[in-house]
Structure 1
Amino acid sequence: MISRLTLLITFIAALLMGSCSDDRPESLIVKIIETTDIHGRIFPYDLINDKPLDHSLAHVADFVRQERENKDQEVILLDNGDILQGDPIIYFNNFEKKESKHLISMAMNEMQYDAGALGNHDIEPGPEVYFKLKEEFTFPWMAANAVDQASGEPVFQPYTIIHRKGVKVAVLGLITPAIPKWLPEHTWEGIVFQDMIEAAAKWVALIKEKDKPDLMVGLFHSGVDYTYGNQNENTPCNENASQLIAERVEGFDIIFVGHDHQGWNKIVNSPDGNEVLLLGAKNDARNVAVATINLTMNKKNRRYEKDISGELINMNEYNADQSFMTKFTPSFHEAQQWADFKVTELGGRLVASQSLFGDAAFTDIIHQLQLSLTDADISFTSPQTFNLTIEPGRLTVKDMFKFYRYENQLYTITLTGKEIKDFLEYSASLWFNKMDSSDDNLLLFKMDADGKVVKNNQNKALLANPYWNFDSAEGISYTVNVDKPEGERVIINQFNDGRPFDLTKNYSVALNSYRGSGGGDHLTIGCDMTKEEIKDRIIFKSEKDIRWHLTDWLKQQDTLIPAANSNWKITPVEWVKEAKIKDSILLFGSR
């Protein structure tokens, strides 16, 4: 029988061995810095609008350098996705300079990022681009819920453990799962995007058991408002599930968010009532999100007590880092020269805001392109922006980024006449208010509980729905009657060439890949089609994006004369005429 003295000696020895093996400090300050939704804003210059900026990744480099010089803290640098779309310099490196090492990987490696998560716009360029970046990055690029369809294993690293003076910081990366709804299948073929809440629960349990981290951090390319886009807390694969995870999955100390460009710094409670910091920067390196964690060892249980605070720090308070600029400015000049290449001559003003109030040259140019490339019967498109004017003169590659913001492909899909009408009815329901008199608004604005138009901090009215879902049609003559109830507004008269339009016949329709993948719900809700039905109806997909085709198409024209062909109108005409003036002032102020 083992004596009590032997048991006591064994117990003391175990305690001593445990204390000797614990090399963690008694206290430590960890500062975690997050960038998100950079969208190619590497340099302090707006290539599209030809103007200098007071924010960029170069400014972030200056801020991070200063923070690392503070030896009283340990710094961790994270990025939360959407780096591969936006500025022309990113497009140039994605598609025009494919054989060289990507500029964004060189820049982020130079800044010594510790980890990153993928965003939906990082999937958008396609596997050739994002797998290239995955290999070039010297840090893990993560998405635990993006799994291989065949094996069920993550396609990207799911999480990482970052060590700072013996302290273990676990960082789990997740991506918004709504990608199949927005992007063409060839960009994500073979990948399944799992529900974020379910994936978080699975991986937190695994990380806790296997790695026993001192700090658990979520790096989620997903927003906070889980009701956005008519979703709710029970919507499977919710686009913006970050807060839901904090409230439903125990174990997180901090969740860094992105995707929604809003900027967040709030505390929510976990299922056990513990505080979780939700923190996220805005887009384009306007600011960074910084979590400061004061760790103090509890000597009884040898666990850290954590004092966590968050802040958003504006980058216009810092300078563009000189060493960063010196190293990468040649790459900037190379892209700048490409962006300045002349495409054609613009023979008149292009005013995007006109496309909110009816048929407009701005959208008709896209319609003309889509019909000419596909020989489709009908074209659908929406404005890619609504507050832009391009003056007559030299039209360059960078102007194409003003004209068409996203790297959507061109699709042709088969729809019945009734589905075409239903599509336009759905678009009108997102776009136009029900007018009972000329005193009413034409546009559907966001309203508060008192029935007043909601305005932003610039005192400009907010639309109830995103303008990129305001689709019009070309190839047919039709009317939208805004004095009629939803579902009874659209009257299609005939084709522009005089052919009769038949609700029972099939027609070919040109539209972008976002819409053709179900984005905006025009096909799923408007036309009551399943995803499989939509997929089966697609008869053409372009290899290159619409902006590339637009540029190539315009190169063949000596001069572009913008003009609307007035194939559709909104009635009652007199009511609409008065409402346009009022609504324009609400949206843009006095002009």
Structure 2
Amino acid sequence: MDHIKLIILETSDLHGAILPIQYSSNTPANIGLAKLASYMKKIRSENEHVLVIDNGDFMQGTPLASYYFRMLRQKVHPMIIGMNKLQYDAAVLGNHEFNYGLDTLTKVAADATFPFLSCNILSGETGKPFFGTPYVIKTFSSGIKAAVLGVTTHYIPNWEKPSHIEGLIFEDAVTATSNWVKHIREVEQPDIMIVSYHGGFEVDLATGKRIEPFEKGENQAYRLCMEVEGIDVLLTGHQHRQEQQIINGVAVVQPGYKGQAIGQVTAEFVKENQQYKLQQTFPETIQTVDLTADQSLMNLIEPYEQGTQKWLDEVLGTVEGDMRIHDPFQARLAEHPMIELIHKVQMDAAHVDISSTALFHNDSPGLPSHITMRSIVSNYIYPNSLMVIEVTGEDIKQALERSASYFTLIGDEPAVSADFSRPKPQHYNYDMWEGIEYTIDLRRSPGNRIIQAMYQGEPLNTHQRYKVVMNNYRAGGGGDYLMFKGKKVIKEIQTDMTELLAAYIRKRRTIKAEVNNNWNVIIPSV
């Protein structure tokens, strides 16, 4: 009786991270594809049966990727250079793959030596998967036949610019997966059925408690395990978590983000009567911290990296005062000069007097005394542009309440609500406003915390229309700000927000670290 082992390796949510560095400080970090590469090479050298799959969101997210999109789009994307070298078998479309539009995505896909998969992102013209065949079949020398089906969270239209996904249809992920798994099982008859889903879990895997509304559908991995027959392995992502377990007989992994770890499922087969039978699967995550970066991969990326570093070190201006972020939570609890600057840039570009923005992540350093592009891209990490939309006073009040629900109380002390920390951290969904005056009272229950909301000295009028500038993600209703979805668009500023920030600082040279205290938060302990 023959026993054969298949190793399935998964990367997910790499977000442009190739080198093991933190770009804000250029210090070493336990992240990046170069570190994972050394493990991939080791596994390939020791095993005959290996599959390597990327689960999506690899194109953007680091200064290296930003530099490519600004300066080098005619060349091969650095992540594709790395993935080609490592002989990936396939990549699944993530939601961030659409951030630069279909022309750019199509070009990146054409440069890859492996297919891009997604069974539920369809062409509106043909009704078929946008990138052709949504699955791959790999038959090994032993005769073992592995099928890999790609699936993407269908919630993308709630985030992405309509122009970036024009002509596409996003089918429900569970429905599409069920249909395609059945088709593959019947037609291809694989020995193992692998689904790679750029999406995560809608329940707490420890308790089974739902952590996301059923009707939302952003994450459906638990339903895939429980409702779709025929899946042996489910590769997941999107939530930036690390998971490894068996759910309803399905081996599940999720490897975090930016290459913190690599997901691995070991599948063991036994040959009976000239046919291979899947006997058992073992899911695990391998941490990057114990790996050495692959120098040959870093050498390939070096020309891109040199250009990136030169671009990042350009000095744009200086700060008068302190605009560093010493505590990200406090920067959301009370006005901070960094947020004030973003508001000023947005209102200057849009020529309106009401603005909404967020502190996007907890590693945001703020601005040092000498401002460089490195400083800007370390704080503003998304490729956002701006939109001016027309909203009512009632819409603004609902948005303020949505933001106020970011906070919870532990005793009398404020903390981050579980709704904004699970199933993944969503600090970017807490907005702060300029051009209106408001107070958040944490002594009151969520949904009833805004006790004052004024515009030019008068209470916000429920029915009056106001022009507000915000990033395109939020203007489309992203982050469950559905009160903004479908609102009249007054103006679009297509220039990337990081370029607007850079131009604003270059023009003024000296930026004052100041706030105008137009909002405040009341907490019980004060």
The TM-score with structure 1 as length reference comes to 0.82
Task: Please say if residues 365 and 379 of structure 2, whose CA atoms lie closer than 8 Å, have aligned partners that are also in contact.
Answer: no
- Shift of the alpha carbon at 1:361? 1.4
| Aligned counterpart in structure 2 of residue 44 of structure 1, from 20, 25, 32 | 20
Aligned equivalent of 1:112: 87
- 2:212 and 2:34 map into 1 onto residues whose CA distance is 37
- Please identify, of 551-560 and 482-491, the stretch whose mean Cα deviation from structure 2 is larger: 482-491
- Shift of the alpha carbon at 1:493? 5.8
Aligned equivalent of 1:241: 220
Aligned equivalent of 1:266: 245
Matched, 1:555 2:506: yes
| Aligned counterpart in structure 2 of residue 290 of structure 1, from 251, 264, 269 | 264
Aligned equivalent of 1:64: 40
| Aligned counterpart in structure 1 of residue 330 of structure 2, from 329, 339, 354 | 354
Task: Please say if residues 81 and 221 of structure 1, whose CA atoms lie closer than 8 Å, have aligned partners that are also in contact.
Answer: yes
- Shift of the alpha carbon at 1:346? 2.2
Report the secondary structure of 1:323's partner residue: helix
- 2:284 and 2:459 map into 1 onto residues whose CA distance is 61
Aligned equivalent of 1:509: 468
Matched, 1:219 2:196: yes
Q: Which runs of 5+ in 1 are unaligned?
A: 1-24, 270-274, 448-453, 455-460, 580-591
Aligned equivalent of 2:316: 343
Matched, 1:310 2:286: no
- 2:430 and 2:238 map into 1 onto residues whose CA distance is 22
User: 1:170-223: CA deviations, max 9, x gaps?
Assistant: 000011111111222122121121111101011011111221111110111111
Report the secondary structure of 2:197's partner residue: strand
- 1:203 and 1:478 map into 2 onto residues whose CA distance is 51
- 2:406 and 2:30 map into 1 onto residues whose CA distance is 36
- Counterparts of 1:59-458 in structure 2 under 5 Å? 59-70=35-46, 72-156=47-131, 157-165=133-141, 166-226=143-203, 231-232=212-213, 234-235=214-215, 238-269=217-248, 275-299=249-273, 302-350=275-323, 351=325, 352-386=328-362, 388-390=364-366, 392-431=368-407, 433=409, 440-443=412-415, 445-446=417-418
Task: Please say if residues 43 and 56 of structure 1, whose CA atoms lie closer than 8 Å, have aligned partners that are also in contact.
Answer: yes
- Shift of the alpha carbon at 1:499? 6.9
Task: Please say if residues 368 and 375 of structure 2, whose CA atoms lie closer than 8 Å, have aligned partners that are also in contact.
Answer: no
- Judging changes above 3 Å, is the alpha-carbon distance between structure 1 residues 494 and 324 closer, same or farther for their aligned structure 2 residues? closer
- Shift of the alpha carbon at 1:348? 2.6
- Judging changes above 3 Å, is the alpha-carbon distance between structure 1 residues 465 and 384 closer, same or farther for their aligned structure 2 residues? closer
| Aligned counterpart in structure 1 of residue 429 of structure 2, from 466, 469, 478 | 469
- Shift of the alpha carbon at 1:134? 1.0
User: 1:351-388: CA deviations, max 9, x gaps?
Assistant: 24433212221211111111111122311112213454
- Judging changes above 3 Å, is the alpha-carbon distance between structure 1 residues 500 and 332 closer, same or farther for their aligned structure 2 residues? same
- Judging changes above 3 Å, is the alpha-carbon distance between structure 1 residues 488 and 241 closer, same or farther for their aligned structure 2 residues? closer
- Shift of the alpha carbon at 1:229? 9.4
Q: Which runs of 5+ in 2 are unaligned?
A: none
Quote the RMSD (CA, aligned, Å).
Answer: 2.6
Task: Please say if residues 349 and 389 of structure 1, whose CA atoms lie closer than 8 Å, have aligned partners that are also in contact.
Answer: no
Q: Percent identity among equivalent residues? A: 28
Task: Please say if residues 387 and 471 of structure 2, whose CA atoms lie closer than 8 Å, have aligned partners that are also in contact.
Answer: yes
- Shift of the alpha carbon at 1:491? 4.5
- 1:222 and 1:485 map into 2 onto residues whose CA distance is 31
State the aligned residue count.
517
- Shift of the alpha carbon at 1:488? 4.3
- 1:472 and 1:53 map into 2 onto residues whose CA distance is 31
Larger radius of gyration: 1
- 2:444 and 2:348 map into 1 onto residues whose CA distance is 34
- Shift of the alpha carbon at 1:155? 0.6
- 1:202 and 1:408 map into 2 onto residues whose CA distance is 35
Report the secondary structure of 2:200's partner residue: coil
Tell me the amino acid that sits aligned with residue 391 of structure 2: L
- Judging changes above 3 Å, is the alpha-carbon distance between structure 1 residues 288 and 536 closer, same or farther for their aligned structure 2 residues? same
- Please identify, of 396-405 and 480-489, the stretch whose mean Cα deviation from structure 2 is larger: 480-489
Task: Please say if residues 442 and 521 of structure 2, whose CA atoms lie closer than 8 Å, have aligned partners that are also in contact.
Answer: yes
Tell me the amino acid that sits aligned with residue 520 of structure 1: G
User: 1:53-75: CA deviations, max 9, x gaps?
Assistant: 243211222111122212x5311
Report the secondary structure of 1:152's partner residue: coil
Report the secondary structure of 2:399's partner residue: helix
- Please identify, of 106-115 and 544-553, the stretch whose mean Cα deviation from structure 2 is larger: 544-553
Tell me the amino acid that sits aligned with residue 178 of structure 1: Y
- Shift of the alpha carbon at 1:341? 1.5
Report the secondary structure of 1:76's partner residue: strand
Task: Please say if residues 10 and 235 of structure 2, whose CA atoms lie closer than 8 Å, have aligned partners that are also in contact.
Answer: yes
Structure number with the higher helix fraction is 1
- Shift of the alpha carbon at 1:490? 2.5
Report the secondary structure of 1:402's partner residue: helix
